Structures are given as C-alpha cells and as structure tokens.
Structure 1
Amino acid sequence: MPALVNSAEGANLVDLWLLYALAGIGFAWIFGLAGRFAFCHTTLMAVGAYTAAYAATHDVPFWGAVLAGTACAALVAALVGLALARAQHFAFAIGTLAVSQIGVVVFSRSGTFTGVNGQVHGVPFPTVFGYTLDTDRDIFWLLLAFVTLALLLGVFIRRSPLGREAVAARDAELVARTAGVPVRRIHLTLFVLGSATGGLAGALLAHWQGFVGIDSFGLDLGIGIFLMVILGGTHSLWGPILGAGFYVWAPKLLSGLDEYRAAVYGGLLLLMIMLCPEGLTGLAARARAALARARDRSRTKEGEHA
C-alpha cells in the first residue's frame, strides 16, 4: 500500500473503503442506472461470502472460491429477479426486503453451509501467484484491482446499448416500453450484474477477514450502501467510491467528539442530502462550472481593458 496511511487502523479503513466501494458500484447499477431499489443487496453479498467460505474451507483455491461466490450470488439474483420480473418499483423493493429476511433465517439456521449460528471461521487468506495476502497492506492491491475492473465494466455498460436503454427505461419507462425497449430484460440484467458484484465483494470480505458472520451483512450495511450511492451521486461512476470514502472516513474524523459523534454525523448526512442532493460528484461538477464561469468573466474583463 502506498503511503496513504501511517497506522494499522488506517490501512484497515482504506481496505474497507475499497470493499464498500466495490459493493456500492454494484448497487449503483441496480439503483442508479436501472432505477430499482433492492433491499437484498447485502443478502446477496452474504451469499457470495458464505459460498466462498464454504469452498475455501473445502480446499478450493482462492480464485475458484471467489468465482463460486460470485456465480452463486448471480444465480440467486437471477431467480429473485425472474420471480419479481412483473413487480413495479415499490413492489420490487418489498419483494427484495422479504428475500433479505428469508436470508437472515436461512443463514442463521443452516449449520452445514453457514456454520453454527451463521458463523464460519478459518477462511484462508487470499493467495495470488503463490503469495499469501495476510496483511491489510498486501490485500489493498487486490481490492484496488477489483475496484478498477468494476469501474471499467461500469464504463462499458454505460456506453453500451444496455446502458442507454436502461437510462431511457429509468427516466421514462412507459415511453421506453412503447418504443420497444425490453425493460424487464434490462432490469434483470442489471440486477444480476450488480448482485454478482456484491457477491464478489462478500467473497473478498470473507477471505480478507478470515471469518463470516451474519451480523456483517445486516440492515445497517444495507442502509450504508444506499447512503454511499446517494452521497456520492447516483449518475456518476465515481459516486460510489466517493460515497464509500465519506461513509468510512467521516466517523473516524469525528471520533474526537465522543458522545456527540453520532449526532454530528447524522446532521452532516442531513446537510449533504439537503444542500447537495446530486451527491459529491454533483458538487464537484458545480464547483468546476463556477470556476469556468469565473475564468470566462476574467477573460472578458481582460479583453475589455485591452
């Protein structure tokens, strides 16, 4: 890891930032691009984590375990998406909420697959080209590589016919259906892709921590991923990354406030949403536009004085 941090805690937070950014990118494809809210995103992250943990503890190599976790999350998402294919936006959200509740019960009771009380220990660290990544500074590069690949895939999706049709279906679904856009297929495709990315994040989390617990994928994380995408900006590729950074680092920066930290953090979130509803990327765009206008005015004044 480059000299971004000078402590073990800081290195851990950087890795957590990248992991949440990866999960947020997947959720952004579902929510920001397709316009569908899925409560079960963390449940599918858990599917990826438990599948990878099960495979790894049964002597499957790291890459095979991660691939199995990602594929299993994609398969479950496909089944859920097909079952809810006819559901409108609100009904789809309620349906995915039901899936998340079912997942909590299954993970906590399925002892053979998910361990006693949903806890799996002894997941081996990632091994890449014969080198074991057993420290936060080592696994940084692995997480950074996966985030980079997810960003590149996001660029491809947004510039492809799938991305353009998804935007049309999101902004004017009735018009898109009238024009022959396969709205259901688009929603299902983005839901599966986003959920598979969440499953990948869960699989990487299992190998990084060496432990999987049902509490790691609760409602708090689901709300947190939603906040990451909203705070970062739903219509930008960089939104989930900026939002994840804010979500991870803001509580750390406010740690000196002790008992008032939660209230200050909540107030800061509220101000962000009120004053900058388009997210941090929208704020940056407004700042660039203001600077451009200032430069134009300066050049105009220089031309008048010339």
Structure 2
Amino acid sequence: MTHSALGSTKAAELRSTRDLRSSGSVLVLVAAAGLVPLLTQNPFYLHLGVLIYLNAIFVMGLGIIARVGQLSFAHGAFAAIGAYSSVHAVMGLGMPYLAGVALGAAVAGMLAAAIGWIILRLRGVYFVLVTFSIGELTRLLLLDFPAISGGANGLTGVPPASFLGFELASKTSAYYYALIAAALVFVFAYALVRSPVGRAFAAIEENAALAEGSGIDTRSFQVLAFVIGSAVAGGGGAMLAHYIGFISPETFNLHFSIAIIIMLVVGGRKSLAGPIVGALFLTPLPELLRATVALQHILFGFILILALRFLPEGLAGIRVYRRKSTGVENK
C-alpha cells in the first residue's frame, strides 16, 4: 500500500472514531433537549428550539455534500423547491402533510440529480460559483412566476404540520416534532457515513484522484451526496414552510444559504455533531438581533473569520484540534 493510501486510511479511521464520539454527545444533547418543554412553556424559547432543530436539518444536509469535498451555495434553492412542492401538494391537491414533505424532498432530490450530473464535473471555486448562480436563478424565477410562488408577497395560510389527523399547531408539539425530525436525520447521517457509501465519500474528500485510482466512481458518488443533501434540504424547507405558515422566494435567499454554510464551518464540517453545534450556537443570533439586520450579517462574517483562523475543525473539533496542536494524538 502506498504512503498516500496509508494516510487516507488513517484519516478515515480517525474520522470514524470522531463520528462515534459525536453520536454519543448528540444522544446526550437530544435527551437534554427533550426536557426543555418540561422546564419552560415560554413560546419564544420553544420557537427558538424549533428553529435550531430545523436549521440543524439544513446543515446536516449540507454536511453530507461536504463529505465529498464540495460546498453548495444552492442549498437555499433546493429548500425552496421542497417547500413550494409540499405547500402546493398539501394546499392544492389535498395531500397529507407527511406525504407533502416526502414529495418536497423527492422533487428537490430529483432536480439535484439532473443538475448535479452536469455541474459536478466542476471543482473548487467553479462549483461554488455555479451553485451560487443556481441559487439566485431559482429565486428570480420564483419571483417571475407569482402563480406558483405568490411573488414578492409569498403564500400565506400554509397549514401547520399534522399527524394522523392531529394538527401540531402548539409550540410544544412543534418543538417535539422538530426535535424528533432532527434526531432521525442525524441517525440517517450516522448510518450513511458508517456505510460503504460513507467510506467512499471519505476517500473522495481525502484524495479524489487516489479514490478514482482505487476503483471508486468519484463522480457518481459526488452526485449521490449532492442528491441526498439536497433532498434533506427540500424536506427541511417543507417543514419550515408549514411551521411558519408562510413562504416567499426570499425565505430561502442567498443569505439563508450563507448562514447554513457558516453554521457548518463554525460547528465543524468533519464531525457529525458539527451541524448540530453550529445550529445551536448561531440560530439564536438573528432572533436576538432581529431589529438590526445589518449587524447580523457583520457578526456572522466576523464569527466565520474567527472560526477559520482559530477553529479549523469547528467547535465540535476543539478536542481534536488541541491534541494536534500539542502533538498528542489518541492511538
């Protein structure tokens, strides 16, 4: 085995160990989060919890795409596609809520498959620029077709989530629903990265050329990661639209995509717990600084710079980073 192959194998093993530790931490966090409604019925805190869990879903979807070394600025576009698909299916066709969410995820995934097969020939900054263009093009197209999107005014009166005929309209029920949904997405992500597909993802991220030489169809796996991550975004977008009861082309604009990327970077893109940590720390900021939108953007940018400079592994990777910086590594 070559030195590069040995390095890739060691890196994959280290990531596997890190993911295992992350899963234990997340289980503790989920158990603690389940106690929140028992401690407070304050609508603001429960609303904030719902947003944290929904953002965690978005970031986990982006994290799957990052597992093959790509970063998408079109995440908001696929969230919007999933949201509008679900809203029209539920309001226009009378589909059950869960079927609408599943349809939203499926439509987003299918479009991602068609687009991904074309754009994933690109690498690095070129891929980023194309996904940026896709995100903006989607927003502009939605604005130009008000019959679908409601135009700049959006669509109101979106029904809340429901299960077996019961509407999850209260903050407490919405809180637990969002928590369970985020936990299920985490379990799915954990199973994915521990599977042969996940190991192929890790090999591609570590060294795409070496993975290709080892017989891995890198392009197909990158498209698969793009499809899965975008489908998760579509499902999350559908859930958010039904939670807030409203959707417009600006709901999932460029700022939304950038915020999700920053959450991933700050939380730690190489850790399963990273998306959850990033969502937990950064979701409250826009809610607490709602009166000063410009300050939100400045603060997010400042946090991103600090994370890139001082926390290259993100908040979830602080222990790993400290071991590396001191020359101590667990065997």
- TM bucket, shorter chain: 0.7 to 0.9
Q: Kindly indicate whether the alpha-carbon contact (under 8 Å) linking 1:254 and 1:265 is maintained by their aligned counterparts in 2.
A: no
Rounded to whole Å, the distance in 2 between the matches of 1:4 and 1:261 is: 29
Find 1:47's aligned residue among 81, 95, 103: 81
Q: Deviations over 1:10-66 (max 9, x none)?
A: 1111110000000000000102x1111111110000000111111111111111211
Equivalent position SS for 2:69: coil
Do structure 1's residue 67 and structure 2's residue 102 form an aligned pair? yes
Do structure 1's residue 280 and structure 2's residue 315 form an aligned pair? yes
Q: How does 1:127-206 map to 2 (within 5 A)?
A: 127-206=162-241
Letter paired with 1:245: L
Q: Kindly indicate whether the alpha-carbon contact (under 8 Å) linking 2:265 and 2:307 is maintained by their aligned counterparts in 1.
A: no
Name which of structure 1's ranges 143-152 and 91-100 shifts more when overlaid on structure 2: 91-100
Q: How does 1:1-306 map to 2 (within 5 A)?
A: 2-3=37-38, 5-31=40-66, 33-58=67-92, 59-117=94-152, 119-250=154-285, 267-285=302-320
Q: Kindly indicate whether the alpha-carbon contact (under 8 Å) linking 2:104 and 2:234 is maintained by their aligned counterparts in 1.
A: yes
Q: Classify 1:106/1:137 alpha carbon distance in 2 versus 1 (closer, same or farther; 3 Å).
A: same
TM-fit CA distance, 1:69: 0.7
Rounded to whole Å, the distance in 1 between the matches of 2:137 and 2:96 is: 30
Q: Classify 1:57/1:229 alpha carbon distance in 2 versus 1 (closer, same or farther; 3 Å).
A: same
TM-fit CA distance, 1:83: 1.8
Q: Kindly indicate whether the alpha-carbon contact (under 8 Å) linking 1:108 and 1:118 is maintained by their aligned counterparts in 2.
A: no
Equivalent position SS for 2:37: coil
- Show the counterpart of 1:297: none
- Show the counterpart of 2:21: none
Q: Classify 1:257/1:188 alpha carbon distance in 2 versus 1 (closer, same or farther; 3 Å).
A: closer
Name which of structure 1's ranges 75-84 and 89-98 shifts more when overlaid on structure 2: 89-98
Rounded to whole Å, the distance in 2 between the matches of 1:97 and 1:256 is: 27
Give RMSD over aligned pairs: 2.6
Rounded to whole Å, the distance in 2 between the matches of 1:195 and 1:182 is: 20
Q: Kindly indicate whether the alpha-carbon contact (under 8 Å) linking 1:109 and 1:117 is maintained by their aligned counterparts in 2.
A: no
Equivalent position SS for 2:158: coil
Q: Deviations over 1:82-103 (max 9, x none)?
A: 1213222332222212211220
Q: Kindly indicate whether the alpha-carbon contact (under 8 Å) linking 1:57 and 1:122 is maintained by their aligned counterparts in 2.
A: no
Mark the runs of 5 or more structure 2 residues left unpaired by the alignment. Answer: 1-35
TM-fit CA distance, 1:213: 1.1
- State the TM-score, normalizing by the size of structure 2: 0.80
Q: Kindly indicate whether the alpha-carbon contact (under 8 Å) linking 2:285 and 2:296 is maintained by their aligned counterparts in 1.
A: no
Of all paired residues, the percent bearing the same amino acid is 29
Q: Classify 1:5/1:21 alpha carbon distance in 2 versus 1 (closer, same or farther; 3 Å).
A: farther
Rounded to whole Å, the distance in 2 between the matches of 1:67 and 1:260 is: 36
Mark the runs of 5 or more structure 1 residues left unpaired by the alignment. Answer: 294-306
Higher-Rg member (1/2): 1
Rounded to whole Å, the distance in 1 between the matches of 2:59 and 2:215 is: 30
Q: Deviations over 1:178-235 (max 9, x none)?
A: 1111100110001000000000000001111111111111111111100111011111
Q: Kindly indicate whether the alpha-carbon contact (under 8 Å) linking 2:142 and 2:151 is maintained by their aligned counterparts in 1.
A: no
Rounded to whole Å, the distance in 1 between the matches of 2:305 and 2:158 is: 39
Rounded to whole Å, the distance in 2 between the matches of 1:23 and 1:258 is: 21
- State the TM-score, normalizing by the size of structure 1: 0.86
Rounded to whole Å, the distance in 2 between the matches of 1:108 and 1:89 is: 29
TM-fit CA distance, 1:286: 5.4
Q: Kindly indicate whether the alpha-carbon contact (under 8 Å) linking 2:79 and 2:234 is maintained by their aligned counterparts in 1.
A: yes
Letter paired with 2:151: V
Q: Kindly indicate whether the alpha-carbon contact (under 8 Å) linking 2:136 and 2:254 is maintained by their aligned counterparts in 1.
A: no
